[in-house]
């Protein structure tokens, strides 16, 4: 007899790693092109895509390195395929140059970073959240990035689909920030039973090819360059370009291009922001965390609440752009005494938190960077210090 | 009360160790790389999660080496949400090597239990109750395959402790090896484990 792998309401069930849930999410979102270079702790994503994509008529390529991998998925996206790569910190470092190119030419791609310890080759098999800032500021130049996160295996599935939606909607690269613990942890996942592709591809241009300008932004400021190979001919360059895609040095056009790249995201950031709150209604001590640190924080909050300490948690599902407004709204309505930022790094998420609060609320931090996950007790200790401070 | 409710109430009377612990039940399977530790954790996690319908988080720790090296798989079982996915205080430790036994036997809950391979316990460490079973010896002598020691152990903990139903663990093993030439071997190994668990249960109760 086989285990019954169908939920009571007819959805397929799996007991899989976060990395395997990422594969399922990507396939469901209609990802049909993956290029990558295996690296612990992200390898299971490449393995899964290599196994599943050919069955769906998609393409998997193991490239010679990460530079080629990111170039391949940008090219595939330019030809109209929904595409993704997965790697870890060392791989992202190699990809950053071309990720900047994708921001510039406005190409939707999903880049999964299953974080491990760094710098350099660091700690291959151990967890870390030390690429949090890399996802914001990694490549050079003025740009605005989008990064999403997950703290359960089910959320990895859901947020992978979400990453494709956001990438497609804003026509830009989207990071999915996981970590070794979430990537390798197994939990039950309920898959969507509908096998249609969840993310709708942007409509093809209606004007004739000879009149086509790829970078004429609509009211929402987002350009959706037409896929190559269908008769729409235009220039794609990393140089600051005009509406036709050709390099420009006219100040007004430069300003327009750079502001558009920023504003297309910042003016619609409410559509990207996502977070989960626990016990924040009356909280005096609010922990801000994401990914595996948020799991430890949830454990800490549950224990503290048993002892009648008014602790709460904000578990971020979108990291960049930083969800400052919704966090402030939560903090404004509770009786806040301190904010505690819990991270598996030497302190990265704490910077936007400081910028957001500007000294109005006391901020404490819990950091662990020895390759092991933060434990609930470490967070409880810091909350207790805040109580007696 | 309907007939079904009565039947459910009757079934509920017999509590499994996990239900008695309310909150969470922390299981750690530990040994050396190459002994199938992570696969064992995966099968147990899948059987309890998909088969028995409880919440399970299974995580693991391993080094950069593929063979040798200390390896462990943690399985956290709960009726509610699981926050921290690694063992804190261990309810059940399954140890296949002396290193694993000595390293983790001090992290046990006061009423925790250790199921160790016979070769793993040279000197007694810690306060927890220890049951030694010759898993590797049986796997080597009876099945000529030391690797099935962990499948025997899975069968053993099912009948000895009742933390996973026999049906679920058997189904999980069957699914895993369905298209493999080792299916029959593993099904025999799990039955051997069930039998051993029943024998030990009689002996210890």
Domains of chain A: 13-190 (3.40.50.970), 276-388 (3.40.50.920)
Please tell me the predicted confidence (pLDDT) of residue B70. 78
How far is B26 from B92, CA to CA, in rounded Å? 7
Please tell me the predicted confidence (pLDDT) of residue A266. 96
Write out the residues of chain A at the interface with chain B, using a CB-CB cutoff of 8 A: 1-5, 13-15, 40, 124-125, 181, 184-188, 292, 295-296, 298-299, 302, 373, 375-376
DSSP A228-281: TTSS------SS-B-TTS-B---HHHHHHHHHHHHHHHHTTHHHH--EEEES-T
Question: Is B188 a residue whose pLDDT tops 80?
Answer: yes
* Tokens encoding A217: 């932004």
Please tell me the predicted confidence (pLDDT) of residue A9. 87
Please tell me the predicted confidence (pLDDT) of residue A219. 66
* Tokens encoding A360: 């109005």
**CATH match of B17-204 with 3.40.920.10:** yes
Query: Which of B200, B169, B137 minimizes the C-alpha distance to A3?
Result: B169
Q: How far is B186 from chain A (nearest CA, A)?
A: 14
First CA to last CA across chain A, in angstroms? 59
Between chains, do B56 and A3 touch, taking CB under 8 Å as contact?
no
Helix axes B37-46, B166-177, angle to 10 degrees: 120
Q: Which residue of B38, B85, B164, B169 to mutate against A (max A Cβ within 10 Å)?
A: B85
A27-53 pLDDT, tens digit per residue, is 999 999 999 999 999 999 999 999 999
User: B101 near B125, Cβ under 8 Å?
Assistant: yes
Please tell me the predicted confidence (pLDDT) of residue A196. 62
How is residue A374 annotated by DSSP?
-
Helix axes A18-28, A43-52, angle to 10 degrees: 40
Please report the sign of the dihedral spanned by the C-alpha atoms of residue A300, residue B53, residue B44, residue B155.
Answer: positive
Nearest CA in chain B to A151: B83
Please tell me the predicted confidence (pLDDT) of residue B1. 45
Query: Which of A141, A105, A198, A144 minimizes the C-alpha distance to A319?
Result: A144
- CA separation (Å) from B110 to B89, B91, B161, B164? 9, 9, 17, 22
Query: Which of A364, A345, A388 minimizes the C-alpha distance to A116?
Result: A345
Nearest to A15 among B50, B170, B171 (CB): B50
In chain A, residues with a C-beta closer than 8 Å to the C-beta of B51 are 3-4
* Tokens encoding B62: 């391993």
Burial (CB count within 10 angstroms: exposed 0-12, middle 13-18, buried 19+), residue A308: exposed
Question: Is B168 a residue whose pLDDT tops 60?
Answer: yes
* Tokens encoding A223: 């350009």
Structure-token match 């530990």, residue found:
B30
A33-36 and A109-117 beta bridge pairing: unpaired
Query: Which of A75, A83, A18 minimizes the C-alpha distance to A44?
Result: A18
Please tell me the predicted confidence (pLDDT) of residue A176. 98
How far is A283 from A285, CA to CA, in rounded Å? 6
How far is A361 from A214, CA to CA, in rounded Å? 46
Please tell me the predicted confidence (pLDDT) of residue B114. 96
Q: What is the ipTM of this complex?
A: 0.89
- pLDDT band for position B135 (cuts 50, 70, 90): very high
What are the domain boundaries of chain B? Answer: 17-204
Q: How far is B168 from chain A (nearest CA, A)?
A: 7
- CA separation (Å) from A210 to A229, A231, A237, A244? 14, 9, 19, 11
Average pLDDT over residues B8-21: 54
Q: Give every residue of chain A whose pLDDT is below 70, as ranges.
A: 195-198, 219
In chain A, residues with a C-beta closer than 8 Å to the C-beta of B167 are 1
What backbone phi and psi angles, to 5 degrees, belong to A113?
A: -115, 105
3-state secondary structure chain B: CCHHHHHHHHHHHCCCHHHHCCCEEEEEEEEEECCCHHHHHHHHHHHHHHHCCCEEEEEEECCCCCCEEEEEEEEEEECCCCCCCCCCCEEEEEECCHHHHHHHHHHEEEEEEEEEEHHHCCCCCCCCEEEEECHHHHHHHHHCCHHHHHHHHHHHHHHHHCCCCHHHHHHHHHHHHCCCCCHHHHHHHHHHHHHHHHHHHHHHC
């Amino acid at each position: 007899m086989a285990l019954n792998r169908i939920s009571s309401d007819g959805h397929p069930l799996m007991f899989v790693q976060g990395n395997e849930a990422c594969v399922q999410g990507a396939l469901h979102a209609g990802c049909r092109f993956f290029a990558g270079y295996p690296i612990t702790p992200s390898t299971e994503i490449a393995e899964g895509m290599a196994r599943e994509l050919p069955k769906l008529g998609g393409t998997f390529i193991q490239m010679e390195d990460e530079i080629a991998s990111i170039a391949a998925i940008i090219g595939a996206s330019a030809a109209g395929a929904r595409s993704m790569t997965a790697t870890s910190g060392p791989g992202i470092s190699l990809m950053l140059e071309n990720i900047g190119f994708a921001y510039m030419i406005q190409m939707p791609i999903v880049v999964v970073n299953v974080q491990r310890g760094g710098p350099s080759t660091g700690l291959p098999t151990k967890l870390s959240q030390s690429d949090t800032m890399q996802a914001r500021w990694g490549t050079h130049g003025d740009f605005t990035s989008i990064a999403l996160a997950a703290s359960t295996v089910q959320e990895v599935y859901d947020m992978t689909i979400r990453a494709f939606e956001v990438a497609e909607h804003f026509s830009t690269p989207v990071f999915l920030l996981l970590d070794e613990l979430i990537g390798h942890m197994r939990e039950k996942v309920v898959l969507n039973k509908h096998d249609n592709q969840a993310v709708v591809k942007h409509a093809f241009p209606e004007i004739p090819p000879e009149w086509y300008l790829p970078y004429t932004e609509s009211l929402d400021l987002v350009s959706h360059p037409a896929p190559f190979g269908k008769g729409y001919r235009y220039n794609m360059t990393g140089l600051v370009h005009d509406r036709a895609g050709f390099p420009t040095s006219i100040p007004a056009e430069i300003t327009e291009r750079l502001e558009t790249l920023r504003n297309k995201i910042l003016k619609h950031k409410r559509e990207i922001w996502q977070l989960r709150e626990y016990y924040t209604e009356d909280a005096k001590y609010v922990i801000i965390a994401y990914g595996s640190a948020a799991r430890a924080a949830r454990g800490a909050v549950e224990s503290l609440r048993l002892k009648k300490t008014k602790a709460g948690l904000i578990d971020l599902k979108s990291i960049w752009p930083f969800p400052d407004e919704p966090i402030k709204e939560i903090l404004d309505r509770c009786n806040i005494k301190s904010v505690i930022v819990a991270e598996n790094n030497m302190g990265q998420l704490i910077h936007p938190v400081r910028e957001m609060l500007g000294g109005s609320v006391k901020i404490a931090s819990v950091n662990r960077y020895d390759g092991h996950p933060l434990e609930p007790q470490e967070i409880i200790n810091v909350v207790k210090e805040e109580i007696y401070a | 009360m309907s007939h079904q409710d009565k039947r459910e109430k009757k079934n509920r009377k017999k509590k499994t160790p996990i239900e008695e612990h309310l909150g969470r039940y922390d299981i750690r399977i530990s040994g050396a790389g190459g002994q199938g530790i992570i696969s064992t954790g995966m099968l147990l996690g899948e059987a309890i999660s998909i088969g028995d319908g409880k919440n399970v988080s299974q995580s693991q720790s391993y080094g950069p080496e593929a063979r040798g090296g200390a390896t462990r798989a943690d399985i956290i079982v709960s009726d509610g949400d699981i926050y921290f996915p690694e063992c804190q205080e261990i309810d059940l430790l399954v140890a296949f090597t002396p290193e694993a036994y000595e390293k983790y036997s001090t992290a046990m809950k006061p009423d925790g239990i250790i199921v160790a391979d016979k070769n793993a316990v040279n000197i007694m460490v810690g306060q927890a109750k220890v049951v030694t079973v010759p898993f590797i010896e049986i796997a080597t002598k009876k099945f000529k395959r030391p690797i099935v020691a962990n499948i025997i152990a899975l069968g053993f903990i099912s009948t000895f402790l009742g933390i996973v139903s026999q049906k679920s663990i058997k189904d999980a093993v069957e699914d895993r090896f369905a298209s493999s030439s080792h299916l029959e071997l593993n099904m025999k190994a799990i039955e051997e484990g069930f039998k051993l668990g029943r024998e030990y249960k009689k002996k210890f109760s």
